[in-house]
Amino acid sequence: MKRLVLLLLFVAGLLAPAQAARLISQVSNDSVEITSSFDGERMNFFGTIVPDVGSAEAITGPFQVVVVVLGPTQNRIARQMTNNFGIWSNTGQLEFKNFPSYFHVLSSGRLSEITDITTLTTNYILPESHTLVVNTDDWWRSAVYGQQLVRLMTEQGLFGVQENGVNFLSDTFYSARLTLPSNAPPGPYIALTYVFKHGAIIARRSEGFAVRKIGFERFLALSSTQQPLLYGLVCVLLALVTGWFGGVLFKR
Amino acid sequence: MQIYLPIAEMSVNLFFLVGIGGAVGFLSGLFGVGGGFLLTPLLIFSGVPVPVAVASVTGQVVAASTSGALAHYRRGAVDLHLAMYLVLSGVLGAFGGVAVFALLRDAGQLDLVISLGFLILLGSVGTLMLVESSRAILKQRKGIVVRERLPNQHNWIHGLPMRVRFKKSRLYISVLPVLVIGLFIGFVGSLLGIGGGFIMVPALVYLLRVPGNVVIGTSLAQVVAMMAATTVLHAVQSQSVDILLAFCLMVGGTAGAQFGASAGKYLRGEQLRGLLALLVLAVAIRFGLSLVITPSDLFSMAVVGGMR
């Protein structure tokens, strides 16, 4: 009996801070439309931290907010070149299954000051944490390839960490700005928002938005996969007509 | 002005695309080649994914060769019979090339094979053309009248079995070398994203002794038909033909080709061949260096399978 009470107290103690605050948040666009002139899109994430329903105590800061934006996952391969007999060629490769095609972290301060490395890794807030799930006997190799893959993705603008990306406009109201690059892969995206207080997560929320091709671009992309034969024939016809018309136009 | 390419999934400057299409089109009109061997590397160097670049350029080569092929056809300078044999074997070769293309892409060796392929092919063809054209230029300077090879001069290749008469080319030769040439060019063309005109013309002239008045027309007709088939194959198998990318290149290419063709009238044949040889060698050296020089980044990445 005494142990049960202790356990209940312990559980209550664990849950209490998480229940005390609630996050109300919003994404500026719930769909990003890729048109022919698509050149990236600016997005805003904002929200406010409010006391939980039924909680009488006022909430006090200081809070830290981390917004993690995740793109659709793909299987991605990292390859390494080595020099054999004077010629550089790909000799080693490692596949990362279900690797995010887009990953950006916006935070209101330095991640290392917000919380400890374990919390960051287990919640997949650090880019490197996505490379740790590879099943391989050779963990050193997977660590090297994973680190290089994150670097390559960062150079493409698909991965990134902005440690001043979230601004607090008041003690409890924040806003964050993210520019999606033009090479952002289409698909479903998730924005995960974590509220930290003294290094612990006290509230979290996830929102989805979609990046998708619309209109003519969507039509082209769909027909290339659903009617590939017809698509190919139309390509050839277009080429023949363009070539013929060019000849007529310039009277060759 | 940026334009979003739906298959390559990136946005590129429209004027850049039309510009390189036009520049390459000018050179292709000048030299009477498809220009794929210049466009594919240019697109790859400017960040277009290798499969999309190779597959889309095949579409552009169709457009670039169409007006030339039509013009030659009206003049009666196309041996359709010979072209048919070349196209049939070429399409077979293209099937093989597209399949090998997919295999290599999955194994991560596509870039290496493309670089090696361009180096060997362009290097050897470029050297041969340079030697031949500089000899012709030197001989002409010395005042020696160059004797044209007679079309009915035979070599051992013509004596192989299964002889067929090609009326327009005034040839009665074995079809085996014709089929081998078609097969080889179909395979290499679909693998490297080139029309293969710069291999086809020397092969027809030096191996089959096809007379000069039908060589270019027949080669162009073959390129149009074979590249059209390759485009459809790429569209079906790898689904990496970007129609917008191809169209931008076509518009630039067909316009540029007309100016190139008019500029070509001011140069003599051997001068043109010499310049083309230098151009081909430059591209070969560029690919050769990329194999030998330590790359700026030892690591690369690729997506396997589709989006989940």
Structure tokens at B135: 């000899």
In a domain, B308, yes or no: no
- Can you tell me the mean pLDDT for B257-279? 78
Q: What total of structural domains would you count in chain B?
A: 1
> Which positions 216-235 of A are in contact with B (Cβ < 8 Å)?
217-218, 220-221, 224-225, 228-229, 231-235
Residue A84 CA to residue B291 CA, distance in Å, equals 10
In a domain, B140, yes or no: yes
- Can you tell me the mean pLDDT for A148-158? 87
Instruction: Report the pLDDT value the prediction gives residue B297, as an integer from 0 to 100.
Output: 76
In a domain, B144, yes or no: yes
Closest CA relative to residue B277, chosen from B119, B124, B68: B124
Pick from A80, A236, A240, A248 the residue to mutate for testing the B interface (most B CBs within 10 Å): A236
List, for residues A171-196, the tens digit of each pLDDT value. 888 888 888 888 888 888 988 998 88
In a domain, B107, yes or no: yes
Task: Count Cβ atoms below 10 Å from residue B20 Cβ, excluding itself.
Answer: 20
In a domain, B298, yes or no: no
Task: Tell me if chain B has a CB within 8 Å of the CB of A151.
Answer: yes
Q: List the domain range (segments joined by +) for residue B209.
A: 2-292
Domain A19-213 CATH assignment equals 2.60.40.1930: yes
In a domain, B302, yes or no: no
End-to-end CA distance of chain A: 99
Q: Do A77 and B302 touch (CB under 8 A)?
A: yes
pLDDT band at A13 (very low <50, low <70, confident <90, very high): very low
Structure tokens at B206: 């030096």
Residue B22 CA to residue B60 CA, distance in Å, equals 11
Answer yes or no: is pLDDT of B228 > 60: yes
Q: Which helix (H) or strand (E) holds A13?
A: helix A2-20
Instruction: Report the pLDDT value the prediction gives residue A199, as an integer from 0 to 100.
Output: 83
- Can you tell me the mean pLDDT for B283-291? 84
Q: Do B70 and A87 touch (CB under 8 A)?
A: no
Instruction: Report the pLDDT value the prediction gives residue B267, as an integer from 0 to 100.
Output: 74
pLDDT band at B82 (very low <50, low <70, confident <90, very high): confident
- At CA A20, angle to CA A15 and CA A24, rounded to 5? 120
Global pTM reads 0.74
List strands edge to edge, sheet with A87-100.
A87-100, A73-84, B299-304
Instruction: Report the pLDDT value the prediction gives residue B308, as an integer from 0 to 100.
Output: 34
Answer yes or no: is pLDDT of B151 > 70: no
In a domain, B303, yes or no: no
Instruction: Report the pLDDT value the prediction gives residue A15, as an integer from 0 to 100.
Output: 47
Mean per-residue pLDDT over chain A, rounded: 80
Structure tokens at B258: 């007309």
How distant is the Cα of A89 from the closest Cα of chain B, in angstroms? 6
List, for residues A32-60, the tens digit of each pLDDT value. 888 777 777 888 888 888 887 776 666 77
Instruction: Report the pLDDT value the prediction gives residue B305, as an integer from 0 to 100.
Output: 61
Residue B92 CA to residue A107 CA, distance in Å, equals 57
* Segments of chain A assigned to CATH 2.60.40.1930: 19-213
- Give the ipTM of the model, two decimals please: 0.80
